[in-house]
Structure 1
Amino acid sequence: MTQAPASYYAALGGHPPQTQIMTDRAVFTEAYAVIPKGTMRDIVTSAFPFWTGTRAWVLARPMTGFAETFAQSIVEIAPGGGSDRPEPDTGVQGALFVVQGSVTVTLDGQDHALTPGGFAYLPAGSGWTIRNAGDTAALFHWVRKRFEAVEGLDRPDPIFANEADIAPSAMPGTEGRWATTRFIDPADLRYDMHLNVVTFEPGACIPFAETHVMEHGLYVLEGKAVYRLNRDWVEVEAGDFMWLRAFCPQACYAGGPGRFRYLLYKDVNRHVDLPGRFG
């Protein structure tokens, strides 16, 4: 099946006119949150220490009643901007996914150019740097998670890739209507997080309520869908972000007329952390 050219939503910032009504699709519950694209305005951006020419929309962070395992931001770097000290915590790993422009990530003295669809996995303590050497603003997702080392497993290697170079893996029984582009080998247990691109053809669906131990962050890259989250049906479209607590029931219908695609974070490959034993 021939794949259509990839599309990545990247129109953030600005402010609506004073005449716009305030009713919106934003919702925050104990089981899930929907942060629509219309909330990602100039007024809600953040600045990070040791970054220049940069602003960010923080979509998720560990806090009571919200994300537990990860932080996710959309980062915009102006031409010439970037950081020689991007990650402040040597125990935290990162994954980048570029949706606009280009950035150069330098690791161990080697430059890696990332363009739209470009992915980088950066191990904890790897000392990477990033720069926008282009003449237009670059926009990328930055997912951060504290690395959980396992005795007897080697540390994970860095990964640099592009979605265009990876064949999607079809979900069994769907005739390719529901597929996942995986940047990290799911059988490689050195990695305790995945960042994938999930694609649904028009009319495709998740035909059952998934309930599982993985926490999710979903950013809609393209298209629209109706998503079942816990007990509610919500409409989502390109530019929206969803957070799903572990075991939150989830399913969806791709609304068409084009494909529905999202960037998916999940924590994987580790035993459940249990409280200490008594006695």
Structure 2
Amino acid sequence: MAHPTYYAPQGGHPGQEQLLTDRAMFTTAYAVIPKGTMRDIVTSFLPFWDKTRVWVLARPLSGFAETFSHYIMEVQPGGGSIRPETDPGAQGVLFVVEGAVTLTIAGTDHVMEPGGYAYLPAGCDWHLRNHAGPAARFHWIRKAYEAVEGIDRPEPFVTREQDVAPREMPGTEGRWSTTRFTDPEDLRHDMHVNIVNFLPGGVIPFAETHVMEHGLYVLEGKAVYRLNQDWVEVEAGDYMWLRAFCPQACYAGGPGRFRYLLYKDVNRHMALPRR
């Protein structure tokens, strides 16, 4: 594959001479959070993280994301955390888009640079530090793990996008492919965080309508994306949330590749209400 590139927010503020023209949308079926909204004023801070700020793209909320949270972390030189996750039931995925961090899992160090990917199971002993500088930016996706009796819990692992071959979707001649970091048939995992790749002209040629909740962060390129009844223009740095069963499709018109980081919940029975 071509050398990967990843968009990362830088913060800052627009000038006072600018008018409000943006593409932000929040509906009952989907949301679009454009890159232009990721400014200094919308950052947050987390307990036990030093020299770090975070853009919260999705959080469990009535009428919004139900199964996960999605952060973009910005860690300054010397920053990080020795107690990053305060929820013992939360699993996580880290994906580095800028700079470098040292991820320590059970005493073993892993240097992660752009394209670096880590899966951290619930209860995992990990911490993270930016030893190298300059500022490092990475995605952190969190989900409460749904254990199943008789199925082992997954183990932590660290890899890179550059080391994982994309899988072509059947009949697409490589125009649409997915970089899968876990085996889709591995039922230990109840979430997948993958990278979806389109070459110019690639399409999702039908309205996908299914049970999986989605979070999509555009890493590279631009496209028009079908969200429920609307065609929406999106580009690198934009974020999309789709509720379960929201119809979706895509046309990647080019001129370059269109790629996004995708979250979805998988491999578990549907919880039923109790009366």
Give the TM-score normalised by structure 1.
0.98
Correspondence for 1:117: 115
Write out per-residue CA displacement over residues 221-254 of structure 1, whole angstroms, 9 at most, x where no aligned residue.
Answer: 0000000000001000000000000000000100
Write out per-residue CA displacement over residues 161-200 of structure 1, whole angstroms, 9 at most, x where no aligned residue.
Answer: 0000010000001011000001111111000011001000
- Whole-angstrom distance in 2 between the partners of 1:18 and 1:254: 34
Please state whether the residue corresponding to 1:38 is helix, strand or coil: helix
Q: Contact 1:218–1:243 at 8 Å: present in 2 too?
A: yes
Write out per-residue CA displacement over residues 40-89 of structure 1, whole angstroms, 9 at most, x where no aligned residue.
Answer: 00000000010001000000000110000000000000011000000010
Q: Contact 1:202–1:256 at 8 Å: present in 2 too?
A: yes
Correspondence for 1:261: 259
Note the 1:1-279 alignment, pairs <5 A: 3-276=1-274
Aligned-pair distance for 1:106?
A: 0.6
Aligned-pair distance for 1:11?
A: 3.5
Aligned-pair distance for 1:159?
A: 1.5
Please state whether the residue corresponding to 2:219 is helix, strand or coil: strand
The size of the alignment, in residue pairs, is 275
- Whole-angstrom distance in 2 between the partners of 1:183 and 1:250: 23
Aligned-pair distance for 1:103?
A: 0.7
- Whole-angstrom distance in 2 between the partners of 1:158 and 1:86: 16
Q: Contact 2:53–2:73 at 8 Å: present in 1 too?
A: yes
Q: Contact 1:12–1:37 at 8 Å: present in 2 too?
A: no
- Whole-angstrom distance in 2 between the partners of 1:11 and 1:147: 29
Q: Contact 2:100–2:133 at 8 Å: present in 1 too?
A: no
Aligned-pair distance for 1:261?
A: 0.2
Aligned-pair distance for 1:5?
A: 1.1
Give the TM-score normalised by structure 2.
0.99
Aligned residue type for 2:201:
G
Aligned-pair distance for 1:113?
A: 1.0
List, as ranges, runs of 4+ consecutive aligned residues in structure 1 with deviation greater than 2 Å: none
Instruction: Name the Cα RMSD after superposition.
Output: 0.7
